[in-house]
Amino acid sequence: MVPSGSLTSTLLRKKSKEMRFVEKLKQLAARPEVKAFLRHPASWLAWVVLFSIAVKENYPFSHFPMYSGFSDRTYFYYFEQDGEPIEAKRIFKTSIPRSKKLMGNYKDEVEDAREDAKDDVIEREAAKMLLAYLRETTTQKEKYAEVLGKPITVMRKNIEFVDGKFLTEDLEIVTD
């Protein structure tokens, strides 16, 4: 006889609960329509979908979250030199959307390292990291030596839809 409230009785209760759950699963799997589904080759599609949702972004799997929600505002980053925009893709061989994704990761890194930092400080630090990465990885160092030899500014363009109109705003983030 196991005394009630003891560790053994708690474990036994937990085990019998688990066994009941497994038993229920077995009963469910034994149902003809479930059996037919599991044997059907197209059921693999459901497994792939569920697995991809679970693992999220782990190449080659992805949960493809692009455009899964909309908002009335957005932004992107671009680059300037001496107050004029520069051809980012030609110079850095990195697209503008990729620069924004990189900024997102750098912001997370800065936030993790300096928990008390304000948003504008985090963004400035991340922009510096982005510029350092782009300068280091570009394969166009010789061709665009003149541009790359001078300071470059990271700019943020905010876009907002207000009262039926699109408003844009350009903000200077940092110059290296």
**97 interacts with other proteins by CB under 8 A:** yes
Spatial neighbors of 130 by CB under 8 A, at least 6 apart, are 77, 99, 102, 103, 106, 154
* CB 104, min distance to other proteins, A: 8
Nearest distance, CB of residue 22 and other proteins, angstroms: 24
- Which span (9-17, 24-32, 113-121, 161-169) binds other proteins, by CB under 8 A? 161-169
Q: Please provide residue 76's backbone torsions phi and psi, each rounded to the nearest 5 degrees.
A: -150, 165
- Contact (Cβ atoms closer than 8 angstroms) between residue 108 and residue 114: no
Candidate list 5, 41, 83, 149; residue touching other proteins; CB under 8 A? 41
Which range in 2-10, 19-27, 89-97, 114-122 contacts other proteins by CB under 8 A?
89-97
> CA–CA separation, 29 vs 40, rounded Å?
14
7, two tokens: 């560790």
Q: How far is the CB of 33 from other proteins (least distance, A)?
A: 9
Q: Determine, following the binding rule CB under 8 A, whether residue 62 of this chain makes contact with other proteins.
A: yes
CB contact set of 172 (below 8 Å; sequence gap of 6+):
80, 153, 154, 155
Note whether 143 binds other proteins by CB under 8 A. yes
- How far apart CA 125 and CA 114 sit, in angstroms, is 11
3-state helix, strand, coil in the chain (%, to 5): 50, 20, 30
Contact between 96 and other proteins by CB under 8 A: the answer reads yes
Interface residue with other proteins, options 22, 53, 121, 132 (CB under 8 A): 53
Query: Residues in the site for other proteins, rule: CB under 8 A?
Result: 37, 40-42, 44-45, 48-49, 52-53, 57-76, 78-79, 85-90, 93, 95-99, 101-102, 105-106, 137, 139-140, 143, 157, 159-161, 164, 166, 168
